[in-house]
């Protein structure tokens, strides 16, 4: 038969022999050629190798990943075609598992995979299994497994913890991990790696295929895919790397409008963005936070004179609504979608021909990923426009462009396996079948993230699962798992299997309330005996709603809503046309500026020759700064002090991201307090840190009363940090996550919280008690481990303090400098951090005190 | 009133007085109430052995809550030196709680009870007074102008001190909310915050508090870090 053979690579002739005729002609019929990496992967798979495939978006990665499976299933069916009794020509059991980080992706891939399967007339069964799969279907899948099961990491954990796991996976040949780069860096990846270690035990010849976007260190992923040696030997999978396709065309919006000093809404750019939407077929608009998404959506509709179909998509919206948007997008029925990272991963989005990124890209890898969204074909350049929301973001965007960001990778390094995840897995394994401690230990350390785990820590984790692992041994009789006469650990009661299933997974969502429409007013909602709300809009974090009072308005789900009241975990709202709505604040919605881009911004600032590349209004701003004060240098730290109103300000410009600056602000104000400088508060942005108070800081620095060297000494990251951290709300939040993952406290389940707060023990209270009585407990250890990584910015802060040591440049000014304007605009907007809660209480108490004083006069 | 706002955090005290039925009562930042005229310390909702109660049901929370609660109580007893202690009910998280009390905590508690009058008011979690612990059990107790009971009564009542509801007050300032356990009173009745290490709270704006207080005279004392904050009703939100 005729084949359109690529002639550059002679090896392909051998490889093509692996491709059955039916496959070859399917490629030809569609006018395609198999790509060399697709064939290379097939060859390695046939040679029983596990492989990591790194390729840019649009390189046919998914088909490459599934080709070995399809070929193998085809060969098996041909081989057994004559045999009677075998329904599909092979035994029961899953042949291939496909694991995707997103439910939507699993659904989408199944749809895409059906095309080649039908096109080639293969008798292959494909099914998805996600949290949305109905119970009867899941049960049926257990009895009659499909050839290919597409699922999520959480579902896999549940599957391996079931009693029939060994039978279910006895025929498993391949596991395909999609978007592996996004899976491995989190605790979710740790749990998945442990599940994989069990699969390797069940099927020692199991082969893995990892599909990934470009990453900084492919070795990490290659290790992750294969079992590590029992004596610490490092094992790696094979690697196929496809270099990037056409370079994307990226530009920074050059607007006639004034770029604002501060803020993140980019309102000024809406007419420009709207014009771009009009000029393109389909535009994807990415923003960094959900609140930004709401604002941008509102602003675009305000000027949408042509009534173009523009939709909104973010993780808090009702699932039904999101699916509708996804379907409309796939059908090319939309002209634009405003989206957050829920759309970051490789879902196929129809014919997107423009990506607009609002706000600074923050990290180079993230930007590359998002731009890959446009024009899903590798050989044509993607088109993207960056929209800086304020002046510092202009610098950041410029730095991103000049850094040749597509090549620059700043993905997070892999972390050591988390102990809370390990504890969850241990319970899961006891649920599946009784385990021998030693055997499970060796299985666990075959997973790359846990390769360094020592036996003693593992033993403590088992003890934790059994009785809580406390040094006060009072819970022996309540043990969840116990050793039987053969020494194998098994669960003591079936209810613990149920408990495991209810709490499995590592995704701990912040407590959220459902948002529903109503026509009733606040009073009626609280007092009516039976009450039914209207349309569901989605979910909002409790913390935001707690700060709302009846009648307040806010933006959500693309509308302006009035807060009516809360009843039994539902927040009721009505339509409003408020002019100054609050915007939902979502936790963790903000990405910090990456170290890489921060350096880029400092480079631009310190080199006036490069200012010409910037928009006039921005270069003008820097020139005035040069005249009025000085500019931050490449490696030093600029500190400005000036009076304003009745207060004095210190502004530092470290450019290390908001989180690092917040930590720095907390530590600096403590030190300044000790130096009797009496700071009153601080505010942090991605670029700078501002502290204010009633004493003349500038003068104190000049007279030596306040020593900047001492103030910024590296040792602040020692005891000061430790003391502060232990009390900080961040550590408590981290503890809650760890304790939930480890099964120490139960996950919150929507609808199951009606019993009220009195019936549960809050994790903050547990934290306080545990910290006081057993600070070295496994979960405290897990919490600190997490904080050290999660507050990566602590490390970053350390690097910064080291860098600037002896290079602090103080400039005392009579008035605010141009560079300080953006952060000064944030003063007052910024809420006080958790530690200042007592100050707020004092304020409220003073109101009463003042009333009393007024009364006595 | 801007000249009056120059107060700082330091101007707030570790305790403050509230008047109930003409009696001066001191609200302590740790969540206990001292009645100077009677040299009596009142605590509510200790919920001792709540940890082991959860462990029994499969949630192995740290078994140190009883120790933490008793240590805090010991500290406050040392400060106030009361002749009498009233525990306003739910002293144990469940009826078997006192039987599970580990040896060392039992000894600690006995030490606290030594040389003073000790009254266990019964609560819904511990309807019967704990056996073998000493002290006096009662469902309700009248001393001078004040009645001590576990659950607050509906209807008007002059001089009632109770617990049970674990009151919490919430304020919103600068777009942030702060929620803390509190003493709440209208001058006729008072409800104490819960004292136990593992006890949470219920907002005083919750419907469970409906009809309990004269709203026009209501105020609350919120517990801070070694300080208390007396806050007016209008600042206390749902």
Domain extents in chain B: 14-235
Question: What angle do helix axes A187-202 and A153-160 make, rounded to 10 degrees?
Answer: 40
Chain A touched by B1 (CB under 8 Å): yes
Q: Check if the beta carbon of residue B149 is closer than 8 Å to that of residue B165.
A: no
Contacts of A281 (CB under 8 A, 6+ apart): A332, A335, A351, A353
A678 pLDDT more than 90: no
A7 pLDDT more than 50: no
Q: Which of A316, A298, A826, A320 is nearest to A555 (CA)?
A: A298
What's the confidence (pLDDT) of residue A528? 58
Under the banding of pLDDT at 50, 70 and 90, the label for residue A412 is low
A661 pLDDT more than 70: yes
Q: Which residue has the higher pLDDT, B140 or B13?
A: B140
- Region of poorest pLDDT, from A84-98, A324-338, A389-403: A84-98
Instruction: Spell out the SS3 assignment of A582-616.
Output: ECCCCCCCCCCCCHHHHHHHHHHHCCHHHHHHCCH
Domain A11-241 superfamily per CATH? P-loop containing nucleotide triphosphate hydrolases (3.40.50.300)
Token pair 């995704």: residue: A507
> What residues of A are in contact with residue B8 (Cβ under 8 Å)?
842
Q: What is the mean pLDDT of chain A?
A: 82
Q: Check if the beta carbon of residue B236 is closer than 8 Å to that of residue B23.
A: no
Q: What CATH number does the domain located at B14-235 have?
A: 3.60.21
Domain A249-402 superfamily per CATH? P-loop containing nucleotide triphosphate hydrolases (3.40.50.300)
SS3 state of residue B15: strand
| Average pLDDT score over residue span B136-160 | 93
Q: What are the extents of the domains in chain A?
A: 11-241, 249-402, 419-507+727-789, 512-575, 595-713+805-840
Q: Which residue has the higher pLDDT, B73 or A563?
A: B73
Question: Are B202 and A757 within 8 A, CB to CB?
Answer: yes
Question: Are A546 and B170 within 8 A, CB to CB?
Answer: yes
Chain A touched by B62 (CB under 8 Å): yes
What's the confidence (pLDDT) of residue A829? 57
Q: Which of B46, B127, B135 is nearest to B91 (CA)?
A: B46
A645 pLDDT more than 60: yes
Under the banding of pLDDT at 50, 70 and 90, the label for residue A352 is confident
What's the confidence (pLDDT) of residue A717? 75
What gap in Å lies between CA A387 and CA A251, rounded to an integer? 9
Q: What is the pTM of this model?
A: 0.80
Beta strand pairing call for A383-387 and A249-252:
parallel
CA A606 distance to own-chain centroid: 33
What gap in Å lies between CA B32 and CA B53, rounded to an integer? 24
Q: What is the mean pLDDT of chain B?
A: 91
What gap in Å lies between CA A793 and CA A787, rounded to an integer? 10
> What residues of B are in contact with residue A837 (Cβ under 8 Å)?
176, 178, 224
B189 pLDDT more than 90: yes
Nearest CA in chain A to B237: A549
What's the confidence (pLDDT) of residue A756? 40
Sheet with A51-54, side-by-side order of all strands: A126-129, A148-151, A96-99, A174-177, A207-212, A51-54, A238-241
What gap in Å lies between CA A387 and CA A397, rounded to an integer? 8
Under the banding of pLDDT at 50, 70 and 90, the label for residue A502 is confident
Chain A touched by B14 (CB under 8 Å): no
Complex ipTM value: 0.89
For residue A11, the tally of other CB atoms under 10 A from its CB is 11
Question: Are A746 and B67 within 8 A, CB to CB?
Answer: no
Under the banding of pLDDT at 50, 70 and 90, the label for residue A5 is very low
What percent of chain B is predicted at pLDDT more than 70?
Answer: 95
Question: Are A470 and B68 within 8 A, CB to CB?
Answer: no
Work out whether the CA dihedral A288, A292, A294, A300 comes out positive or negative: negative
What's the confidence (pLDDT) of residue B4? 39
Closest approach of chain B CAs to the CA of A550, in angstroms?
9
A1 pLDDT more than 50: no
What's the confidence (pLDDT) of residue A102? 76
Chain A touched by B112 (CB under 8 Å): no
Specify burial of residue A696 (Cβ count, 10 A radius: 0-12, 13-18, 19+): middle
Closest approach of chain A CAs to the CA of B185, in angstroms?
15
What percent of chain B is predicted at pLDDT more than 90?
Answer: 72
Work out whether the CA dihedral A70, A71, A76, A79 comes out positive or negative: positive
Which tokens belong to A770?
Answer: 């545990």
Q: What are phi and psi of A178, to 5 degrees?
A: -90, 150
Q: Which residue has the higher pLDDT, B37 or A100?
A: B37
Beta strands in A467-511 (DSSP E): 481-483, 489-491
Taking a contact as any Cβ pair under 8 Å apart, which residues of chain A between 734 and 773 contact chain B? 744-746, 756-758, 760-762, 765-766, 768-770, 772-773
Q: Which of B75, B81, B49, B83 is nearest to B63 (CA)?
A: B49
Nearest beta carbon to residue A769 from set B68, B175, B219: B68
A560 pLDDT more than 90: no
User: Exposed e or buried b for every residue in A190-213, given b needs 16+ CB within 10 A?
Assistant: bbbbbbbbbbbbebeebbbbbbbb
What's the confidence (pLDDT) of residue A406? 47
Under the banding of pLDDT at 50, 70 and 90, the label for residue A777 is very high
pLDDT tens for residues A785-813?
887 665 556 778 888 888 888 899 999 99
Rg (CA), chain B: 18
Q: Give the DSSP H/E element, type plus range, for residue A751.
A: none
The segment with the largest mean pLDDT, out of A121-135, A298-312, B77-91, is B77-91
């Amino acid at each position: 038969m005729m084949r359109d053979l690529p002639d550059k690579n002679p090896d392909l002739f051998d490889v093509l022999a692996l491709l059955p005729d039916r496959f070859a002609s399917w490629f030809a019929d569609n006018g395609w050629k198999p790509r060399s990496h697709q064939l290379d992967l097939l060859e390695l798979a046939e040679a029983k190798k596990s492989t990591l495939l790194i390729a840019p978006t649009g390189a046919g990665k998914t088909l490459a990943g599934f080709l070995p499976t399809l070929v193998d299933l085809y060969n098996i069916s041909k081989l057994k075609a004559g045999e009677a009794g075998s329904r599909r020509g092979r035994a029961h059991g899953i042949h291939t598992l496909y694991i995707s980080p997103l439910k939507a992706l699993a659904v989408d891939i199944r749809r895409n995979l059906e095309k080649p399967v039908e096109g080639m007339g293969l008798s292959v069964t494909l099914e998805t299994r996600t949290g949305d799969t109905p119970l009867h279907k899941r049960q049926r899948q257990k009895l009659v497994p499909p050839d290919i099961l597409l699922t999520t990491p959480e579902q896999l954990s549940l599957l391996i913890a079931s009693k029939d796991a060994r039978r279910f996976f006895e025929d498993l040949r391949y596991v395909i991990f999609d978007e592996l780069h996004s899976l491995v860096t989190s605790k979710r990846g740790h749990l998945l790696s442990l599940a994989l270690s069990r699969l390797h035990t069940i099927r020692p010849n199991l082969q893995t295929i990892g599909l990934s976007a470009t990453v900084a260190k492919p070795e990490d992923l290659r290790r992750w895919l294969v079992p590590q040696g029992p004596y610490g030997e490092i094992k790696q999978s094979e690697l196929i790397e496809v270099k990037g396709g056409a370079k994307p065309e990226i530009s920074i919006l050059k607007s006639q409008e004034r770029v604002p000093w501060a803020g993140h809404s980019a309102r000024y750019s809406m007419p420009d963005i709207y014009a771009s939407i009009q000029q393109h077929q389909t535009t994807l608009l990415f923003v960094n936070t959900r609140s930004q998404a709401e604002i941008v959506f509102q602003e675009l509709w305000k000027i949408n004179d042509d009534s173009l179909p523009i939709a909104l998509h973010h993780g808090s919206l009702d699932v039904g609504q999101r699916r509708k948007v996804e379907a409309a997008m796939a059908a090319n029925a939309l002209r634009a979608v405003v989206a957050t990272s829920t759309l970051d991963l490789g879902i196929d989005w129809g014919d997107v021909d423009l990506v607009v990124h609002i706000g600074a890209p923050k990290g180079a890898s993230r930007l590359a990923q998002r731009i890959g969204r446009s024009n899903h074909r590798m050989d044509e350049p993607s088109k993207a426009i960056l929209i800086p929301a304020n002046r510092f973001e202009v610098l950041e965007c410029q730095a991103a462009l000049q850094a040749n960001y597509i090549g620059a990778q700043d993905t997070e390094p892999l972390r050591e396996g988390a102990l809370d995840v390990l504890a969850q897995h241990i319970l899961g394994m006891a649920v599946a079948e009784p385990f021998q401690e030693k055997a499970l230990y060796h299985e666990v350390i075959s997973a790359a993230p846990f390769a360094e785990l020592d036996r003693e820590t593992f033993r403590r984790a088992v003890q934790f699962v059994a009785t809580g692992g406390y040094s006060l041994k009072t819970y022996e009789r309540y043990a969840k798992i116990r050793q039987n006469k053969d020494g194998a650990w098994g669960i003591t009661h079936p209810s613990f299997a149920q408990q495991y299933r209810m709490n499995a997974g590592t995704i701990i969502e912040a407590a959220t309330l459902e948002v529903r429409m109503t026509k009733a007013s606040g009073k009626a909602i609280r007092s009516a005996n039976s009450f039914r709300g209207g349309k569901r809009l989605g979910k909002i974090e409790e913390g935001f709603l707690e700060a709302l009072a009846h009648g307040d308005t806010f933006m959500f789900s693309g509308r302006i809503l009035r807060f009516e009241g809360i009843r039994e975990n539902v927040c009721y709202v009505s339509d409003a046309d408020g002019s100054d709505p609050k915007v939902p604040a979502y936790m963790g919605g903000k990405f910090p500026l990456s170290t890489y881009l921060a350096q880029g911004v400092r480079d631009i600032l310190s080199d006036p020759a490069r200012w010409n590349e910037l928009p006039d209004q921005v270069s003008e701003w820097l020139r005035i700064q040069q005249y009025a004060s000085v500019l931050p240098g490449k490696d030093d730290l600029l500190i400005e002090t000036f009076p304003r109103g009745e207060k004095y300000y210190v502004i530092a410009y470290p450019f290390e991201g908001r989180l690092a600056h917040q930590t720095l602000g907390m530590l600096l104000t403590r030190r300044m307090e000790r130096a009797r400088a009496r700071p009153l508060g601080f505010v942090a942005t991605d670029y700078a840190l501002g502290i204010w108070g009633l004493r003349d800081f500038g003068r104190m620095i000049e007279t030596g009363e306040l020593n900047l060297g001492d103030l910024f000494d590296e040792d602040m990251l020692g005891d000061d940090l430790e003391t502060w951290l232990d009390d900080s709300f961040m550590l408590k939040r981290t503890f809650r996550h760890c304790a939930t993952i480890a099964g120490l406290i139960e996950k919150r389940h929507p609808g199951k919280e009606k019993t009220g707060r009195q019936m549960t023990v809050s994790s903050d209270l547990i934290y306080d008690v545990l910290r006081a009585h057993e600070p070295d407990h496994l979960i405290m250890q897990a919490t600190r481990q997490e904080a050290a990584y999660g507050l990566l910015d602590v490390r970053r802060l350390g690097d910064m303090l080291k860098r600037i040591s002896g290079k602090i440049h103080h400039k005392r000014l009579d008035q605010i400098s141009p560079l300080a304007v953006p952060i000064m605009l944030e003063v007052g907007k910024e809420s006080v951090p958790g530690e200042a809660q007592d100050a707020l209480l004092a304020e409220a108490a003073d109101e009463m005190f003042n009333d009393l004083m007024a009364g006595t006069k | 009133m801007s000249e009056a706002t120059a107060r700082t955090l330091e101007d707030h005290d570790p305790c403050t007085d509230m008047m109930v039925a003409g009696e001066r009562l001191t609200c302590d930042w740790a969540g206990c109430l001292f009645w100077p005229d009677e040299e009596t310390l009142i605590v509510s909702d200790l919920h001792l052995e709540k940890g082991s109660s959860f462990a029994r049901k499969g949630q192995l929370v740290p078994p140190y809550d009883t120790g933490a609660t008793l240590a805090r109580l010991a500290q406050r007893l040392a400060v106030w030196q009361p002749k009498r202690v009233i525990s306003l009910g739910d002293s144990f998280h469940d009826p078997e709680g006192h039987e599970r009390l580990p040896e060392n905590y039992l000894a600690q508690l006995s030490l606290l009870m030594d040389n003073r009058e000790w009254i266990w008011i019964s609560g819904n979690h511990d309807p019967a007074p704990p056996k073998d612990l000493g002290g006096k059990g009662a469902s309700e107790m009248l001393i001078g102008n004040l009645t001590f009971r576990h659950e607050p009564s509906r209807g008007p009542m002059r001089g009632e001190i109770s617990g049970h509801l674990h009151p919490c007050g919430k304020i919103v300032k600068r777009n942030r909310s702060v929620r803390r356990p509190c003493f709440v009173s209208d001058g006729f009745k008072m409800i104490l915050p819960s004292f136990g290490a593992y006890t949470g709270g219920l907002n005083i704006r919750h419907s469970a508090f409906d009809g309990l207080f004269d709203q026009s005279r209501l105020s609350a004392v919120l517990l801070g870090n070694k300080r208390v904050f007396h806050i007016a009703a209008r600042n206390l939100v749902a």
